[in-house]
Structure 1
Amino acid sequence: MTFKFLPLAFIGFFAFLTSQEGFATDKEAPLKELTGAGATFPYPLYAKWAEAYQKQTNTQLNYQSIGSGGGIKQIKAGTVNFGASDKPLDEKDLNESKLMQFPAIIGGIVPIFNIKGIDQLTLDGQTLGAIFAGKITKWNDAALAALNPGIRLPDEAIVVAHRSDGSGTTFLFSHYLFDVSNDWKTAQGWDAKNPDKVKPDSTAQWPNGSVAGKGNEGVAGLVSHTPNSIGYVEYAYATENKLTHVVLKNKDGEVVEPSAEAFSAAAENVDWSKSPSFYMIMTNQPGKKSWPITGASFILLRTEESYADKNKDVCQFFHWAFKNGQEMATTLHYIPLPASLVTLIEKAWQNHKIAPKS
């Protein structure tokens, strides 16, 4: 039996495509396969879940880590059993596309940097937005120096690293910067006279001289190998690749480190029961311990009756993950969904008549 996971080019993170020798027998039930595509944000965890699930159930999950934009396109086209996106779809888009969604995991996005001889850097929303908007272009800028007393920042140009693909990670990062940085909003074409014309999206406008990588792994690789660079990735990519991350001032003015506890503190502010379609964005949440760029990653399913059987199989996988995969989630610094949210998700499955067997 083979376990198939199709990651993008990766910088020594996970090697899958493994062989489970000696597991299959002639009496074993036929191999069942599920296909999914989308967000790179949850990929490390989905890979761990899929490997363990296959060992227990003989069901193979083939997940392509191609970015949220690609996942949305593929599920809308019906070419995969489920899509995955860190950018939730609003109710109008869900209805028009005949889709439903539910959150699967919660995590954090962290700015990462590569400055020789420096292993700590404090930023706030205004300075982070100014860097990614191209307004702050040198590491020794006075605004950065003021936030980092005692650290000799170099007189070097900042290299911004960002996603090249349609990305839910970019959407969450941009959504946060829209909240806290006028420089970022202006760089995206925002106009106070017509504030709804430009909104955060899975792509963005970047400064001249920036570099782009595909997937979280691509950005992590760029920052790792580019001196004086800064980028943004899901936290597991930073920790597993031993990349140096920024600490941020949050909405309450407290300087916080990214951690499972900080992501959980932000998530505690969210009331999922107020959103039947599970549309929820949790960036820039209040709380002294809250990490300001926290978000959920979502699963997208088609709602037509012809997809019901496969949808049940997909829901069976996530039912198993919610019940058995919490330790794997916390090991990778994700936040398992609270029991109250899992109950809401299971009710949504029942409403769509795709609830798995208990």
Structure 2
Amino acid sequence: MQVTAAVVPAQGAPFEIEEIELDELRHNEVRVRMVATGICHTDALVRDAIYPTPLPAVLGHEGAGIVEAIGDSVTSVQPGDHVVLAAAYCGHCKRCRQGQMAYCENLFAADFGGRRNDGTTAFSKDGKPISSHFFGQSSFATHTNVVEESVIKVDADLPLEHLGPLGCGLNTGAGTVLNELQPEIGSSLVVFGTGAVGDAAVMAAKVADCAIIVAVDIHDSRLELARELGATHTINSLTENVGERLSEITNGAGVDYVVDTTGRPELLRQAADSLGVRGTVALVGAAKPGTEATFEVGASLVKGWTFKTVVQGSSVPQVFIPQLIQLWREGRFPMEKLMRDYSLADINKGFADSASGETIKPVIVF
């Protein structure tokens, strides 16, 4: 089957719109006609070969679409179903068996390997393989073959055009707060970086009834939106002293929780220094392998603080994404305020606008 896709031909190269071949479904796969897909920072990391998916590749991992066909072992969806696509997981390792799919022991093979377990790829051109199954889906294509583990059925009355980002960015930010940190009512929470992941964390902190929700960024426009989404305070780290402001906001007690979406070592240090007793820093931002951060371990010992990394919001996608949709229906998770639509032909502009901060969450609408 011939499909149109955005292909990364080589390291750091722009996406190229090409006609390529999609192969036959395997027994555990679902063919999805894509309606829309979000653009995520992780796609850029792979485009630039910071993460190890072989190139050329069809990326994209925040897809939403309509099922056209299913493999003979698929039971969770039928042709015609509307679906959101999330990260893949193996389903049989110890972590998956314990319901910790985000920490699948075979995560890199399932999400970044670019191949099925048998070494085949869903996409090819002129007989040459193109890496596929990125996060189980490779959604930068008009049609794609998706592993069943990546598929979440949703109601047909929902706007598929803006559901895709639930599959990664929004799931990560909101899940880090609601699934992993589980802040107490009346607690304080700080978010470093108000992109899509950070804004999802802000909205989730409001859902959790945090009393103090602080958004930290370098773009005033993003900080204004964060206030609209639930932040009680904002800090522009270019013009204000973050440590002093956080001490002022918490009356010197320090903050209870920090979500860092940036992966920048200097901000992680600020996050740790800002904690109160028994505080927690959750790192969700992807950084280049080899990046290191340092923390003061002398006086901080008596705080009993915690540093943890969080993947995919510690979510079970088939459980948590419907919960986020319910919050959206109730008006408590207005995710559409983060999004701007682009055509597939304008995918490189979407990436550029995301990198510059002009657009929080670019969405490719087919």
TM-score by length of 1: 0.30
Higher-RCO chain (CA-CA 8 Å, sequence separation at least 6): 1
Which structure features the higher share of strand residues? 2
TM-score by length of 2: 0.29
